[in-house]
Structure 1
Amino acid sequence: MKLIKLDAIDSTNEFLKGLSSKQDLENFTVVTAENQTKGKGQMGSVWISEAGKNLIMSVFVKDSLSDVSQIYSLNIAVALAVIESLESYNIPELSIKWPNDIMSYNFKIGGLLLENSIKSDGTLSSIIGLGLNINQTNFENLPKASSLAQISKTTFDKEKILLTIMEKLESTIRNLEYDVRSLWESYNGLLFKKGVPMPFKDQSDKNFMGIIQGVSTAGQLQLLLEDDTIAEYSLKEIQMLY
């Protein structure tokens, strides 16, 4: 693991993406920043973090899958690596809110953003971005956000958590294709509000009820609807109301 530490940057994902386009990076190269001015979330949303309090990191990963049609398996491997790392710090009631939010109880404590690039020869390289709320305790106007410190009533060593996550991430990704079935089972078992009737809102702002059944191999959320049919939804087609 090669570690690049930055004081402030617009986006660790963008920095690492630019670096990978200019040079042949070592697998599992990591970039961290104390402050990120233009942090990215899913579908162009913004990730806001208090300077110096949280873990902001991006990881360059290459050749993780031989079959790029199974690309969502990489999301699953990363999410599970983060969850298992946090379990080792006794963070309670962890779950994954589809597609890539890390939850404790009903609060978001982290988020993932994977950006994949498939070369002409079929090889895959990925930039894995992770924002994890660690020691921040002020979440004014963010009622659904929390942190490890706020939940556990203690402060944490960010460097130690980074090393724990990277150790688990490397192990999980290197074994991805051998353990893919068990990884999928674990991921589906950790889905936030799975099996619970929940209200959702679609793109036309229409509210409806659904019960999460799981996630398809293409990464779509599978919902059991009130008419007993199963429907699949892509990212941003629906929003859970909780």
Structure 2
Amino acid sequence: MRIIKLDAIDSTNAYLKKLSVDGHVEDGLVVLAKFQTHGRGQMGTIWSSQEAKNLTFSVFKDVSFIPVNRHFYISIAVSLAMYEALNSLGLKGVKVKWPNDILSDNKKIAGILIENVIKMNVISGSVIGIGLNVNQTDFKDLPSASSLLLLTGYVQNLDEVLDVILRQLTVYFEYLKNEDYHNLKSKYVAQLFRKNKPSTFKSAEGLLFSGYIVGISEGGQLLIKVEDDVIKSFDFKEVVLMY
């Protein structure tokens, strides 16, 4: 994979999307920044990261072979790649908090933002943004956040961590190319945070309710068992897991 390294940029996703529009992008191109001035997370949230202490990067993937109705499998593949990479780096209790936050020992250490380019009802490309807390130790006003350094006790080499992640991305995109959707979904559901545990959720209307995460639908919606063993499906904008 070719890697473009930048000192600072507004957003690696925005930079890579512009390259794709201009036609100057190839499959697997990585844009890595020491610092993002406007790093983004899901639903317009801000991804805050201290300069040169963490990994903030984006990868462009040609995903034209994936049907539009299976777009969530891109998120599944990236989440599982992060899961495997972090396990190999010695982290404990790694889980995927639906749809694609990565936790270790119940602390958030990574976030994923996937932006697909759809042309003529075909996903022509996917810009995969990843933010991973590596050597940062101060997370003011973010009590649920942590980093590899805090969780392992060791300062990590950023280039080496990036290499581990990129290798796993290659592995899991082979699953996608081979249309191994069943295996991908099974692996993802097995690593869901708080699966089959009593949990509290907040609806889009701000109402709290109790239930059990039991899996995901084919389209990536979260399946929650509520009262009377009724299973309801939710899009990621419709429900928040409270923890």
Shift of 1:170: 1.5
Question: Structure 1 length as normaliser, TM-score?
Answer: 0.97
| CA spacing shift, 1:208–1:63, aligned 2, 3 Å | closer
Q: Secondary structure at the match of 1:227?
A: helix
1:175 maps to what in 2?
Answer: 175
Q: Secondary structure at the match of 2:122?
A: coil
Distance 1:37 1:144 in 2: 22
Q: Is the 8 A contact 2:201 2:210 kept in 1?
A: yes
| CA spacing shift, 1:27–1:44, aligned 2, 3 Å | same
Distance 2:113 2:123 in 1: 20
How big is each residue's C-alpha offset from its partner over 1:38-88, in whole Å with a ceiling of 9 and x where there is no partner? 011111111000111000010000135342211111110111011111111
Q: Is the 8 A contact 1:64 1:173 kept in 2?
A: no
Q: Is the 8 A contact 2:35 2:49 kept in 1?
A: yes
Counting aligned pairs with the same residue, the percent is: 43
In structure 2, runs of 5+ residues without a counterpart are none
1:101 maps to what in 2?
Answer: 101
Q: Secondary structure at the match of 1:176?
A: helix
Distance 2:83 2:123 in 1: 27
Shift of 1:17: 0.3
Q: Secondary structure at the match of 1:49?
A: coil
Shift of 1:233: 0.6
Correspondence 1:232 to 2:233: yes
Question: Structure 2 length as normaliser, TM-score?
Answer: 0.96
Shift of 1:124: 2.2
Distance 1:191 1:19 in 2: 34
Distance 2:222 2:198 in 1: 14
Between 1:17-26 and 1:144-153, the stretch displaced more is 17-26
Distance 1:94 1:84 in 2: 9
Q: Secondary structure at the match of 1:91?
A: coil
Q: Is the 8 A contact 1:34 1:52 kept in 2?
A: yes
RMSD between aligned residues: 1.2
Amino acid at match of 1:96: V
1:199 maps to what in 2?
Answer: 200
1:4 maps to what in 2?
Answer: 4
Q: How many residues of Structure 1 are paired with residues of Structure 2 in the alignment?
A: 242
Q: Secondary structure at the match of 1:181?
A: helix
Amino acid at match of 1:84: E
How big is each residue's C-alpha offset from its partner over 1:94-149, in whole Å with a ceiling of 9 and x where there is no partner? 00000110000110000000000122273520000000000000011100000010
Shift of 1:18: 0.5
1:60 maps to what in 2?
Answer: 60
Q: Is the 8 A contact 1:30 1:57 kept in 2?
A: yes
Where does 1:14-163 land on structure 2 (aligned, <5 Å)? 14-63=14-63, 65-120=65-120, 122-163=122-163
Distance 1:131 1:33 in 2: 10
Q: Is the 8 A contact 1:68 1:124 kept in 2?
A: no
